[in-house]
Structure 1
Amino acid sequence: MLLWINGPFGGGKTQTAHEIQRRLPGSVICDPEHAGFGLRRMLPPELRGNFQDLASWRQGVVEVLDLALAKHDGVVIAPMTVTDFGYFDETVGLLREKGHDVRHFTLLAQRETVLKRLRERGFGHLIQRVAGKDAPLRRDSWAVEQLDHCLERLREPEFAEHLWTDQSTVPKTADRIAVLAGLTLAPNSEGALRTRLRQVRVGVKHIRFD
């Protein structure tokens, strides 16, 4: 089974994916973003646009996930924002055509909620404390620019199942996905502090500087 976790940039996809992986023995995360940034780095800076526009990215994601699903015994988790209907068909749709059990979920939240999460991820929370809550989101400016577009497109029925997360924690969102996918997660025995520290580590690990 493939769990494709969609949603706006900063919407909690990666944190939710790691929460599921932590509590679901045998599951692995195969992040399509890694392939995208690798391809992007191959290009001269002036040609570095949206890597999803590269057919090689879409084809490579399908090839790698197809292999992982065929050879790995456990659940495969792919946290990745996709808002283009055509690109969605070329990735999620094609994997389904190949016979794989693909469960797609879109994490949604109000604009203010996503902006707050963008400020708090990685080092953002420290920056907010030092520079003030209205400090610009410089590293995440692209994510902010794409936010309205993402929220509008991802509400479309083609991107269901929709999960609104404004009032939900990451562990609770992971629980909801597991129930809908027919999976059983190990109980969440972490306290709030330990959960927050682990989420900060995940956020820092996924900071992009390019």
Structure 2
Amino acid sequence: MGLHGVGPNWVRFFGDGLSGTAFEDSNAEGRFAWYVADSTRQGMKTFRHGLAHSVDEAKLAADAAVLDRKRGRAAAVEGEQTSSTDRNRRRVDRLLASETLARGLVDDLTNFHKELVTAGDLKTADRVAASIRRAALGALADYMRRTAAFRVRSGANMASPESMKAEEEFVLDIADQLDQMADDPQATEQLFEALTDKLRQLGVFPDGDLNSAVVNGFFLESLTKSSE
């Protein structure tokens, strides 16, 4: 699977004859078109398409559409009537696609940071370290949103619907704060730990790999700054 620039478009090849296209030029309303096609069907038939508010959102929508396809869900186009369950599944798929892309970005940037430090380019390494932290925080925020409602309880531990809704909203608020922290150059590891401690007190545990990636991002930032 790869993402390639083709003229004014971005095309991602998923395998199994599937490809997604996002247009870099917006339409008259300032929205960006995307579609997913299946080359194994006659005429490279499009089975999902829509409009997004940004190129990145268009790419992620195409990713989510392919996930739908591979899971055997029915095709959909913008404006069609869908159930709340379908809408929630697609929202989760978009978050998963965004989270997955961010995980890959964190890995790539971490390797790039090592190369820069080895080459002695600490100024660039510091900027890359900040990007690692931002990407990891963004991915963790998407993870928390994606899993906010997935709380398994039974018996005496079964919470009321009102309590479960309040807990979900609390987790979503923490996710928003993680996003804000990603955009804040003054953010600290201590503030991050304070947020994740609130989640743990509720019995919600952030993804271990993403949590470690955020902490590593803060560490790499401090490491390159102290070496200047």
TM-score normalised by L of structure 2: 0.28
Q: Which has the larger radius of gyration?
A: 2
TM-score normalised by L of structure 1: 0.30
Higher relative contact order (CA 8 A, sep 6+): 1
Identify the structure with the greater strand proportion: 2
